[in-house]
């Protein structure tokens, strides 16, 4: 049976390469968590990034990339990343409000949407170093990303990496309505029941 450390290394294989391409452009801790969501989406869910923006049309003659595009974190409080997967366009959207980062994933074809709320200042310890140094609880965060953000929207499309061991007022191009619920709202904004691949343990 593979050791837990081996499974950890396998799961995050490729992260160091991605980090090298963005290290000098990391401006804040939220950037790192968006990059982690991007890494999981491309490595384990076979999606490819086709740029920034919120265009929901499938790009022609664009195979996409596993790297983050230029200007992906150019905005101080908003992120808009586009991906293609099985001829679907996926939008990975982030909104940074005070100490909270709200990340949404939207499938433009099925209209499925998920969201997760995390606190960058609490989760990210540094912007230099290996993944465990950057995000001490990276295994827990990766599991939350998969269960709360990725699996509900892209069920059945992830690679199986397992182990047996233990909305702001006003209209703008960033106004996604229900995608970014008010933190004080009493409405139920929980993602749909998870029906994706089996649980993952790192």
79 part of a folded domain: yes
173 part of a folded domain: no
User: Cα dist. 165→2, 6, 160, 193, 200 in Å?
Assistant: 9, 12, 15, 25, 10
- CATH number of the domain bearing residue 101: 3.40.1000.30
Query: Average pLDDT of 115-125?
Result: 98
**Per-residue confidence (pLDDT) for residue 1, from 0 to 100:** 53
193 part of a folded domain: no
**Per-residue confidence (pLDDT) for residue 5, from 0 to 100:** 82
124 part of a folded domain: yes
Tokens for 159?
Answer: 């690679």
133 part of a folded domain: yes
Residue 2 has pLDDT above 80, yes or no: no
Query: Average pLDDT of 73-99?
Result: 96
196/153 Cα distance (integer angstroms): 9
Query: Average pLDDT of 102-113?
Result: 96
Find the Cα–Cα–Cα–Cα dihedral 113, 33, 86, 115, rounded to 10°.
-10
Query: Average pLDDT of 54-63?
Result: 84
Provide the domain limits for residue 14.
Answer: 4-55+63-166
Q: Which of 4-8, 9-13, 89-93, 145-149 has the lowest mean pLDDT?
A: 4-8
135 part of a folded domain: yes
127 part of a folded domain: yes
159 part of a folded domain: yes
Q: Which of 8-12, 133-137, 158-162 has the lowest mean pLDDT?
A: 158-162
Residue 201 has pLDDT above 80, yes or no: no
What is the count of structural domains for the chain?
1
């Amino acid at each position: 049976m593979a050791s837990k450390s081996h499974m950890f290394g396998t799961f995050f294989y490729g992260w160091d390469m991605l980090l090298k391409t963005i290290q000098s452009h990391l401006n804040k801790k939220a950037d790192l968590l968006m990059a982690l969501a991007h890494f999981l989406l491309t490595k384990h869910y076979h999606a490819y990034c086709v740029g920034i923006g919120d265009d929901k049309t499938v790009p022609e003659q664009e195979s996409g990339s596993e790297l983050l595009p230029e200007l992906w974190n150019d905005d101080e409080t908003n992120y808009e990343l586009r991906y293609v997967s099985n001829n679907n366009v996926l939008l990975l959207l982030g909104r940074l409000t005070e100490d909270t980062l709200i990340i949404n994933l939207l499938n433009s074809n099925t209209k499925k949407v998920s969201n997760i709320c995390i606190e960058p200042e609490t989760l990210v310890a540094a912007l230099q170093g290996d993944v465990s140094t950057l995000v001490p609880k990276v295994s827990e965060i990766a599991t939350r990303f998969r269960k709360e953000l990725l699996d509900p929207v892209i069920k059945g499309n992830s690679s199986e990496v397992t182990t047996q061991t233990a909305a702001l007022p006003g209209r703008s191009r960033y106004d996604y309505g229900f995608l970014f619920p008010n933190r004080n709202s009493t409405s139920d904004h929980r993602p749909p029941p998870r029906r994706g691949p089996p649980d993952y343990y790192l």
